[in-house]
Amino acid sequence: MSVELKLRDRFERGLAAPICLTWELTYACNLACTHCLSSSGRRDPRELTTDEAVTLIDEIAAMQIFYINIGGGEPMMRSDFFTLVDYAVNKHVGVKFSTNGTRIDALAARRLAASDYLDIQVSIDGVDAATNDVVRGKGSYASARRAMDHLRDANFGPFKISVVMTRDNVGQLDDFESLASDYGAQLRLTRLRPSGRGVDVWDQLHPTRQQNRDLYQWLLARPHILTGDSFFHLSALGDPLEGLNLCGAGRVVCLIDPVGNVYACPFVIHDEFLAGNVRDAGFAAVWRDSELFRSLREPGSAGACASCGSFDACRGGCMAAKFFTGLELTDPDPECVFGHGETALEVKRLSIRPTSSPDHSRRTPVFLGSK
């Protein structure tokens, strides 16, 4: 789906309701991935109660938000997970949820397979345990594969395999494609962001400039690969990739965190991008009236990118990637395909990078399984 410029301009001024609403159900997680966007681990005692979550789903349905992307933390750690999913689906709000797979046994897989309006993404970050477990923790590859086996055995249909692209796995693109095809699954690739705990590993893990070029060509040849519009910064290399090719933060995208805080996008859990809380006057009020979202919908300045011929293609890239690497929002994306971001970063080399305002990381190491 490529969108003409006029419509994209409209989107940049904001919509009546988000297209892509991510709702992180809990900060609790039984893994401790090194790049976790939400610095998850421990449950927050202020997380929305079941009743509050149900009220929020009612509001989401009333706003005609077609589907919600449920994440976490590990969303299946919530004891009311299935209650909330069933409630949303019955309200005709589709659910796409993202999981590490550890809680998908044969029974859960059958239960998930019974719903029509449910999509699942199982995360892995390497095509083998060696590559994956360095990022996601020991045993996490095996448990994700077990979840995929259960989903296949339960005839779930085409679930998604979701991969964050890193320096260590860009070389495995073809293998990821084969793995997905073996399961009859869809492959979904997303960008590594320096958000949450990612701020600590981004320097070592983000793809090199050459890898980004390879990834762009690979994606261009495979428009069926899902990306959640993740790689629009690479569209400056030539023809636009599939998707809206814009930063949707506060315009077509936003995040509700487990305590009801509304942020501009899933990658900017930080006070600077906090628009409000659903507990105050509901979600619609935050979406429509928050000062932050209103300002994001104003025409922005191209900043340092104004004189670049490719600005129309990449729009200066990802706000979160800039912010958490210590750049100004008017700077180029740190992974600018022409290297302008690297130059800007060099200047900021010694500055202290912002970190996620709420940090729910566990204080002790996590081990999966008994060994």
Partner 1 sequence: MSTVPTQFDASAPWQLDAQVSLRDEEFGALAYHHGNRRLVFLKSRTLVDLVRGLEKYESATAALEHFSPARELHQYESALASLARSEVLSER
Residue 66 binds to partner 1 (criterion: CB under 8 A): yes
Assess contact for 126 and 175: CB atoms under 8 A: no
Q: Which is nearer to partner 1, 1 or 352 (CB)?
A: 1
* CB of 319 vs partner 1, minimal distance in Å: 23
The answer to the question of residue 19 lying near partner 1 (CB under 8 A) is yes
Query: Please, what is the minimum distance in Å from the beta carbon of residue 241 to partner 1?
Result: 17
Residue 275 · residue 286 · CB < 8 Å:
yes
Count CA atoms closer than 13 A to 307's CA, side-chain side: 2
Stretch that binds partner 1, among 21-29, 64-72, 201-209, 231-239 (CB under 8 A): 64-72
CB of 272 to partner 1, least distance (A): 28
Q: How far is the CB of 218 from partner 1 (least distance, A)?
A: 23
Cβ closer to partner 1: 93 or 147? 93
For residue 346, count other CB atoms closer than 10 A to its CB. 8
Question: In terms of DSSP bridges, do strands 261-263 and 253-256 run parallel, antiparallel, or are they unpaired?
Answer: antiparallel
15 near partner 1 (CB under 8 A): yes
Contacts of residue 123, defined as CB under 8 A and 6 or more positions apart, other chains included, come to 98, 99, 100, 101, 136, 144, 162, 163, 164
Per CB under 8 A, 17 contacts partner 1:
yes
- Region near partner 1 per CB under 8 A, out of 63-71, 167-175, 257-265, 338-346: 63-71
Site map 117..136 versus partner 1, x via CB under 8 A: x-x-----------------
For residue 359, what is the DSSP state?
-
* CA dist list (Å): 342 to 168, 209, 214, 347: 20, 10, 18, 9
Q: 191 φ, ψ to 5°?
A: -85, 140
Binding site for partner 1 (CB under 8 A): 1, 3, 7, 10, 15-17, 19, 64, 66-67, 92, 94, 116-117, 119
